[in-house]
Amino acid sequence: MKIHNIFSASFFEPKKLAAFRLLSIGKVFRYVYIFIFIFTIISFSRFFVGDTTLFEGSPDLMEYSKRIGWLIYPIAFMMQLVINTFYVFIRISVFAYIGSLLLKLMKRRGEFLHIWRTSAIAITVPILFAIFFDFFPILANYSFLFTSIIHIVYIALAIQYYPKKPR
């Protein structure tokens, strides 16, 4: 299955979202890394064009960034990539655990690996909302709560299409 097919199905098709639990882990990682890279590029471009509120808060940090000059950009890009990767994979794992609890509550069959893959594909809409909220600082305070609720709803909708446990 192609990445753009997974992307379009992750929005409106919970049945396919549940079926994505059978994708290879390599395909799921590739899909997640595409979003991490896009998220990092957007974040880095805001840093590159001068949205440096971090540096304005500390004169020492501002002086240090002037001293190292152009080296700040590859360092900043790599740091953002590592931090975004860590954040997204921890988030997927936490929501996969919540999804495994939902599996038990909804009396559905599945393993943690299955729900992890579903959670990884279901993060599409929450990441897009997080990118949107990042441009509006007023809304950024509620970003995590809002995107978490959306992520859980997508996982719960997909779990409805998991096979039922035999009695």
d(CA 127, CA 139): 15
Which pLDDT score, from 0 to 100, does residue 30 have? 92
For every one of its 167 residues, what pLDDT tens digit does the chain have, with 9 covering 90 and above?
A: 788 788 888 888 888 888 888 888 899 999 999 989 988 898 888 777 766 555 565 667 667 767 777 777 788 889 889 999 999 999 999 999 999 999 999 999 888 999 999 999 999 999 888 888 877 777 777 888 999 999 999 999 999 999 988 87
Which pLDDT score, from 0 to 100, does residue 51 have? 60
Asked whether residue 24 is assigned to any structural domain, the reply reads yes
Domain that holds residue 147: 15-159
Asked whether residue 34 is assigned to any structural domain, the reply reads yes
Asked whether residue 40 is assigned to any structural domain, the reply reads yes
d(CA 92, CA 96): 6
Which pLDDT score, from 0 to 100, does residue 101 have? 94
CA nearest neighbour of 36 among 124, 116, 97: 124
Give me the residues paired with residue 164 across strands.
Answer: 108
Which pLDDT score, from 0 to 100, does residue 52 have? 55
Which stretches within 50-71 are classed as H helix?
53-56, 59-68
Asked whether residue 164 is assigned to any structural domain, the reply reads no
Asked whether residue 142 is assigned to any structural domain, the reply reads yes
Asked whether residue 166 is assigned to any structural domain, the reply reads no
d(CA 156, CA 159): 5
Q: How many domains does the chain have?
A: 1
Number of neighbours of residue 12 by Cβ within 10 angstroms: 9
Which pLDDT score, from 0 to 100, does residue 21 have? 85
Asked whether residue 87 is assigned to any structural domain, the reply reads yes
Asked whether residue 138 is assigned to any structural domain, the reply reads yes
Can you spell out the DSSP letters for 68-121? Answer: HGGGHHHHHHHHHHHHHHHHHHHHHHHHHHHHHHHHHHTTB---HHHHHHHHHH
